[in-house]
Structures are given as C-alpha cells and as structure tokens.
A and B are shown apart, each in its own frame.
Chain A
Amino acid sequence: MAVIAPTEAYHPVRDHLKLNRAGLWLFFFSECVLFGLLLSARFYLEGIQREELDQLLGLGITIILLLSSVTAFTAETAIEHDNRKLANWGLIATIALGVLFAAGVGYEWSIAHFHRDEAFGTLFFTMTGIHASHVISGIGILVLVWVQFLRGRFTGKDHWPIAGAVMYWHFVDVVWVFFYPALYLVN
C-alpha cells in the first residue's frame, strides 16, 4: 500500500497562526450573521424611511472610525517592521479615536428625539447599541494588547495579538460602513 508523504513539514508557529487567523475569520462570519439580521430587520420594518438624525454628527463619527482604521493599520504595519515607536502611537491614536466614536454615539443617543418604543427608535438603539458594544470591547482588547506591548511582549516576528486586535477593529469599521448609510443616509 502506497503511503502519501506530506508535501510540507508541520511548523508549529506558522500552523498555529493559520489556525488563529481562520478561527478569527469564522468568528467574523458569525458576527456578519448577527449584523446582517439587524440590517435586514431595519429595512423589513421601515423600508427606506427613516427619522431625522444629526447628519453632521453621523458624518463626523464615521470619519473618526475610518481614521481609527488607518491608525490601527499603521500600528500593525509598524510592529511588523519592528518600528515600536510608531506602533505605540498607532495603538494610542486608535484607542483615543475609538473612545471619541463611542462618545459621539452616546451624544447622538442623548439628543435623539424619537423614542425606543417606535419601530425606528428600536432599530436605531439596537443597531447602534450592539455596534457600540463591539467598539467598547474593541477598545478593551486594544488596551490589553497595548499594555502587553509596553511590557515588551511583541516583535516583528511574533505579534499575532496586535494583528488579531487590529483585524477585529477593522471588522467593527466594516459593520459601520453598512450601518451608517442604512441609518443616516437612505431617504
């Protein structure tokens, strides 16, 4: 009986990284189901109608979140190339912009004139609330990773926690890319 030899030797670090990455993408897929259902509920219940929202505030927090994705990308790229100073500033800026975004959503909640008993109010508070909870947990993860980074934990060859946290942050940004027009811009 012929035995087929493996084409590639097992490499514990590389293969572990591949598993981490695949696991994170599976998690993103399950999150897509959650956010996709919220999005479909929004259009099922309200069609393309919406209540009046502060357009400039919506645009402002959207730009803040997109900017935080750029600083997160900078942090990841910098640590990949062992540029610790730039990675440090990238992480700090991402955390700060995340806090600013969450504060913006909080302010939007405080001035929203519709009520959570209305269909649009229910959708608005649920969608922005679940998204904001992801932003806040993302900030928490980034702070944990940043503290580890300050302790000298990561190098250019070993920085999966930073890469994973940054990927999560980008995912939160992708969700908002769909939520922003659905809540603020249609109709």
Chain B
Amino acid sequence: MQKTMQTGLVVAVILAVLTIFEYVFAVNFDDDTIRFIGLSFAAVAKAALIVYFFMHVYRLWRVEEAH
C-alpha cells in the first residue's frame, strides 16, 4: 500500500506543478497561439496522468484477481 500511495503522491505533486505552470504561463505569456498550445499540452498531460494512474485504464486489458 505504501508504494501505491507514494506513486499517487508523486502524481499529485506533478498535477499541482502543471496547474501552477498553466496559471503562470497563461497570465504572463502574450502570444495567443503559443499560450493556446502550451495550455493544451498541460491539459493533455494532466488528463493522461489521471486516466493512467488514478483511473487505472491499464486494468481494462490486464488479467487480474477479482476484487
């Protein structure tokens, strides 16, 4: 359990950093196109982290014990 929780905390820290990056990037960057691309990149990265580590999408095609 400790290892799983550690992974979850690392993912949470990365999500927090990406969220702060989004905010600072959007507030301080003038070019609309680059800002849009940067925000899209951050959003896709955050969604991928949540879908993989928190929603366990890999369990869909993994053979495992019942719970």
Contacts and interface: CB of A to CB of B under 8 A. Distances in A.
A160 B5 contact: no
Contact of A14 (B12, B27, B51, B66): B66
Chain B binding surface, main DSSP class: helix
A17 B43 contact: no
A84 interface: no
A85 interface: no
Interface string A157-181: 1111001000100110110011011
A25 to B, nearest CB: 6
A184 B35 CA distance: 13
A40 interface: no
A73 B8 contact: yes
Contacts of A126: none
Nearest to B15: A66
A66 B12 contact: yes
B67 A59 contact: no
Interface stretch (A74-82, A101-109, A116-124, A136-144): A74-82
B9 to A, nearest CB: 8
A16 to B, nearest CB: 8
Contacts of B26: 181, 184-186
Given A48-B36, A170-B55, A178-B47, A13 B66 contact: yes
B16 A66 contact: yes
A36 interface: no
Which of A163, A177, A180 neighbours the largest number of chain B CB atoms within 10 Å of its CB? A177
A185 B22 contact: yes
Contact of A59 (B4, B19, B65): B19
Given A70-B8, A186-B39, A77 B67 contact: no
Interface in B1-50: 1, 4-5, 8-9, 12, 15-16, 19, 22-23, 26-27, 32, 35-36, 39-40, 42-43, 46-47, 50
Contacts of A134: none
Interface in A58-80: 59, 62-63, 66-67, 69-70, 72-74, 77-78, 80
5 contacts: A73-B8, A73-B54, A77-B4, A157-B66, A186-B39
Interface of A: 8, 11, 13-14, 17, 21-22, 25, 48, 55, 59, 62-63, 66-67, 69-70, 72-74, 77-78, 80-81, 83, 156-160, 163, 167, 170-171, 173-174, 177-178, 180-181, 184-187
